[in-house]
């Protein structure tokens, strides 16, 4: 899965990117940084993988990964048509989810340049820009469809598309993101190709100071639209990333930060996106796989390889919790906790699976 960090300039996106990915991309309080986005792959922290590795001693260990992208932020009220450059926009559109970074720290230079921090205002500004970007796209598509219809060249698919687009334009016109319009999967289908920005799941990263960290419950309350939020002390956590683990732990305890920035964001992302993890285990490899809540055993097989989905016979399955509780696969077997599941089995987070299939 791929998360795009978006937000106004100087909100601390690159700082957070560095904290998340252990990279050392340049941050900047003055001018815009280099135009290309920073991209990094972050292994999803999952203590269960380590535990499984200690049991199976595999030759290879593979964590699930999330890809993080960091863009140049757009300036509030800047007089331009697009919030992202065309090349950035095509990258943002590829993101599975967006993480909106909001400035919540005081910084002499930035405060004098952009005014003191006001995360709610900035959230509104960015949302308005995203909505506007979608609205321009939806309206121009609607115009094209009308044009086709006038010439009698419309296809039946276009009728359905138009119906949805009319709803979308009305919603966006009322300042509502597409994700909040309650459109059915059937209605959303014709929109798929557009990859609208406000259709993407979104979470908020409140980027706070060491001083005001965990003192923003009023902000969380004021955050409308049921947006999931995580608070980072961006700069502080970027510095933590450079320390030895036990040293970093001490600092985190002082700040009452319970898990690393990476762990907190991944947990939130799994929550927001409805992702779950299943594992494959053995002497060769212990591997974590990401699928969506509601995915079946065949979907899980397909995540591993399309051949496994095509030739699927059944899945041998047991739960991580049971394995840890009983200590070995043999004990699981004796207790009858090793299950055989069919195609329609709904995979649960923490399932350990082995797919039987016809080649």
Ligand X SMILES: Nc1nc2c(ncn2[C@@H]2O[C@H](COP(=O)(O)OP(=O)(O)O)[C@@H](O)[C@H]2O)c(=O)[nH]1
Report how far residue 319's alpha carbon sits from residue 282's, in angstroms, rounded to the nearest whole number.
15
Report the residue number whose CB is nearest to ligand X.
12
- Residue list 226-285, contact with ligand X (CB under 6 A): 233-235
Binding segment toward ligand X, per CB under 6 A, in 23-31, 150-158, 175-183, 251-259: 23-31
Whether the Cβ atoms of residue 274 and residue 293 lie closer than 8 Å to each other:
yes
Return the residue of 51, 107, 176, 339 that touches ligand X, per CB under 6 A: 107
Q: Which is nearer to ligand X, 20 or 52 (CB)?
A: 20
Say which entry of ligand X, Mg ion, none residue 107 contacts (CB below 5 to 8 A, set by partner kind): ligand X
Q: Which of residues 174-233 bind ligand X (CB under 6 A)?
A: 207, 209, 233
Select from 38-46, 79-87, 103-111, 171-179 the region that touches ligand X (CB under 6 A): 103-111
Residues 291-350 that bind ligand X (CB under 6 A): none
Residue 266 CB, nearest distance to ligand X (Å)? 20
CB of 236 to ligand X, least distance (A): 6
Tokens of 90: 């095509």
**DSSP per-residue letters across 221-282:** HH--TT-EEEEE-HHHHHHHTTS-HHHHHHHHHHTT--S-HHHHHHHHHHHHHTEEEEEE-S
Q: Which of 190, 192, 198, 156 is nearest to 173 (CA)?
A: 198
74 binds ligand X (CB under 6 A): no
Out of 3, 4, 6, 15, the only residue in the binding site for ligand X (CB under 6 A) is 15
Residues 6+ apart with CB under 8 A from 279: 48, 49, 52, 286, 287, 288, 289, 320, 350, 351, 352, 353
**9, 127, 153, 176, 223 from 170: Cα distances, Å:** 30, 16, 25, 9, 23
Measured from the CB atom, is 4 or 177 closer to Mg ion?
4
Q: How far apart are CA 268 and CA 265, in angstroms?
A: 5
**In the stretch 29-68, what mask flags binding to ligand X with x, by CB under 6 A?**
x---------------------------------------
Residues 6+ apart with CB under 8 A from 43: 63, 64, 65
Q: How far is the C-alpha of 108 from the C-alpha of 122, rounded, in Å? A: 18
Out of 3, 4, 12, 171, the residue judged to bind ligand X by CB under 6 A = 12
Q: Which listed residue (22, 24, 28, 224) binds ligand X by CB under 6 A?
A: 28
Rounded CA gap, 209 and 199, in Å?
31
Name the residues that contact Mg ion, by CB under 5 A: 13-14, 33
Q: Which residues contact ligand X by CB under 6 A?
A: 7, 9-15, 27-29, 73, 105, 107, 110, 207, 209, 233-235
């Amino acid at each position: 899965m791929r998360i795009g960090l978006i937000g106004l300039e100087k909100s601390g996106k690159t700082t957070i990117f560095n904290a998340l990915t252990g990279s050392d991309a340049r941050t900047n309080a003055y001018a815009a940084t280099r135009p290309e986005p920073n991209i990094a792959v972050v292994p999803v922290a999952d203590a269960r993988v380590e535990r499984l590795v200690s049991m199976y001693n595999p030759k290879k260990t593979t964590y699930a990964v999330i890809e993080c992208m960091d863009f140049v932020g757009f300036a509030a009220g800047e007089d331009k048509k697009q919030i992202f450059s065309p090349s950035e926009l095509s990258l943002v559109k590829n993101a599975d989810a967006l993480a909106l970074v909001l400035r919540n720290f005081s910084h002499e230079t930035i405060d004098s340049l952009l005014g003191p921090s006001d995360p709610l205002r900035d959230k509104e500004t960015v949302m308005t820009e995203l909505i506007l970007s979608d609205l321009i796209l939806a309206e121009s598509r609607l115009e094209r469809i009308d044009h086709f219809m006038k010439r009698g060249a419309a296809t039946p698919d276009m009728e359905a598309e138009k119906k949805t687009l009319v709803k979308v334009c009305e919603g966006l016109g009322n300042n509502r993101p597409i994700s909040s319009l309650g459109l059915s999967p059937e209605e959303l289908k014709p929109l798929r190709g557009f990859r609208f920005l406000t259709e993407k799941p979104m979470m908020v990263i409140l980027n706070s100071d060491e001083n005001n960290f965990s003192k923003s419950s009023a902000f969380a309350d004021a955050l409308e639209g049921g947006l999931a939020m995580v608070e980072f002390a961006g700069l502080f956590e970027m510095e933590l990333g450079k320390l030895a683990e036990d040293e970093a732990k001490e600092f985190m305890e002082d700040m009452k930060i319970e898990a690393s920035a990476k762990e907190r964001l991944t947990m939130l992302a799994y929550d927001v996106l409805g992702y779950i993890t299943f594992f494959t285990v053995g002497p060769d490899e212990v591997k974590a796989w990401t699928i969506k809540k509601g995915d079946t055993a065949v979907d899980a097989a397909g995540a591993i390889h399309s051949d496994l989905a095509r030739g699927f016979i059944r899945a041998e399955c047991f739960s991580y919790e049971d394995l840890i509780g009983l200590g070995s696969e043999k004990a699981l077997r004796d207790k009858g906790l090793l299950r055989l599941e069919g195609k329609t089995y709904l995979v649960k987070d923490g399932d350990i699976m082995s797919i039987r299939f016809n080649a």
